[in-house]
Amino acid sequence: MKTICLYFEIHQIVHLKRYRFFDIGTDHYYYDDYANETSISNIANNSYIPALTTLLDMVNESAGQFKVAFSISGVGLEQLEQYAPAVVELLKKLADTGCCEFLAEPYSHGLASLSENAAENFRDETMRMCDKIQELFGQRPKVFRNSSLIYDDEIGAKVADMGFKGVLTEGAKHIMGWKSPHYLYHCCLNPDLKILLRDYKLSDDISLRFSDTSWESYPLMADTYMDWIATLPEQDQIVNIFMELCALGIYQPLDSHILDFLKALPSCAKQRGVTFSTPSEIIDSHESVAPLEVPYPMSWVDEERDISCWQGNVMQREAFDKLYSVCDLIRVTPDRHVKQDWDYLQASNNFRFMTTKNNSVGMNRGIYESPYDAFTNYMNILGDFMNRVHRSLPAGMDIEELNAFQTTIQNQDKKIQALEKQIQRMKASATPKAPKAPKEAKPKKAAAKKESK
């Protein structure tokens, strides 16, 4: 029986304000509060609230047969709590139905998983997000979803070490090749971590193409869409449809009837014998068919499905390296304001504004006129922030001694990680032979003669 895993991501960045070189050292507040309140109110009213209300109705009207999953960034959740608490209340109602699973992701929606220096920070902010989810929604996440579905073998090993049983990522063609995303796979460095792969065509049919009048399948009806799923090969049992929640109302406006389409899916699925499942239910009820090798990071962004939109040019890499050069100092600073700014400055959108790629999907750079403008503004803020980080350290701490000590620890950690990876690869490749069945002892001739008498 085919089952659909429907998952939505919720994330909103904290908008940075214009910050000049001469502001460094004098102005320590980096954010545009008006832009933050305006953007979150707009997206809440035109997307999140009507979409979540529809999803809640779908759960109630299907008597629990319809199921859905969410992940929320910490910085996005902070803005919702401040400017749109009605969204948080709707998420709590969905959690209470027992048909909604909340996943873990990095608190900042940042790129710490890509930095060799930030392994501990990556773990810390993921655990902090798990605590936040448990506090608000009464669930401890068991499945992980990285920022923008970024994943490779090493990230998978880190996620498994944190205790997660599954991870969501992109079913990128350059990784999958001939393989189908409609199966459950596992991390090649740790078989305990199962991998759910996004079907990018079926997902983008809703999130990107639904209201496109030039699309050959326009207008898309719920029964047509469900026919596509039901007529997949019989052995293709898992269909993972992942998208941002703002696709419902922002990317696809409400007047396109996107919510009517969504609401009709459960009944169309039931008629065709197709069910809905959460990520954990799929992991518990299906066996992995094979390991998935992902030597280089992939994501769900742009046609390349890689990390070039955040690290594709010199400006982005310089900003990335400079930010994560202080990650160890962040862990020892007692200044909560510095730690909060660290969360906001890590958000991946800050680096994407600096991209020089020609994207097929239009990108709004906000206050920035160009990627160079975004880089200059961010680096000015980063210059002031790093000065504050050093000033916030405990009195009497020698920075040079601390750096030398941290370098020693990092080198030791790298050696340990290299050895652990080698052990994991050996375990994964080892296939223990089944023990031979003991041979039956032949009866002695004398005994046989005696029995015959």
What is the Cα–Cα distance from 400 to 149, expressed in whole angstroms?
Answer: 37
Helix (H) or strand (E) holding 71: strand 68-72
Q: What is the pLDDT of residue 441?
A: 46
- Tens of pLDDT along 146-172? 999 999 999 999 999 999 999 999 999
Q: What is the pLDDT of residue 410?
A: 57
pLDDT average, residue stretch 419-440 = 59
Question: Does pLDDT of 439 surpass 90?
Answer: no
pLDDT average, residue stretch 172-193 = 96
The CA-atom distances, in angstroms, between 304 and each of 186, 241, 292, 347, 355 are 23, 19, 19, 21, 14
**Two structure tokens written together for 176:** 């999958």
What is the Cα–Cα distance from 421 to 413, expressed in whole angstroms?
Answer: 12
Where does the pLDDT of residue 428 fall: very low under 50, low under 70, confident under 90, or very high at 90 and above? Answer: low
Upper half-sphere CA count for residue 330 (Cβ side, 13 Å): 25
Average pLDDT, the chain: 90
**Two structure tokens written together for 10:** 């919720």
Considering only CA atoms, which of 164, 155, 163 is closest in space to residue 188? 155
What is the Cα–Cα distance from 343 to 107, expressed in whole angstroms?
Answer: 7
Alpha-carbon radius of gyration of the chain? 25
Percentage of residues in the chain having pLDDT higher than 70: 87
Distance, CA of 435 to chain centre: 42
What is the Cα–Cα distance from 347 to 360, expressed in whole angstroms?
Answer: 22
Q: What is the pLDDT of residue 443?
A: 46
Helix (H) or strand (E) holding 195: strand 194-198
pLDDT average, residue stretch 94-115 = 97
Where does the pLDDT of residue 448 fall: very low under 50, low under 70, confident under 90, or very high at 90 and above? Answer: very low
Indicate the DSSP class of residue 396.
T
- Tens of pLDDT along 231-264? 999 999 999 999 999 999 999 999 999 999 999 9
Q: Per 3-state DSSP, what percentage of the chain is helix, strand, and coil (rounded to 5)?
A: 50, 10, 35
Q: Provide the pairing of β-strand 291-292 with 185-187.
A: parallel
**Two structure tokens written together for 306:** 């890689």
- Tens of pLDDT along 327-347? 999 999 999 999 999 999 999
pLDDT average, residue stretch 299-318 = 95
Biggest CA pair distance of the chain: 112
Is it true that the peptide bond before 219 is cis, omega within 30 degrees of 0? yes
Q: What is the pLDDT of residue 450?
A: 42
Query: Is the pTM above the cut of 0.85?
Result: yes
Matching residue, tokens 């020089």: 356
Q: What is the pLDDT of residue 394?
A: 79
Question: Does pLDDT of 408 surpass 70?
Answer: no
Lowest pLDDT segment from 134-148, 220-234, 387-401, 433-447 = 433-447
Q: What is the pLDDT of residue 366?
A: 83
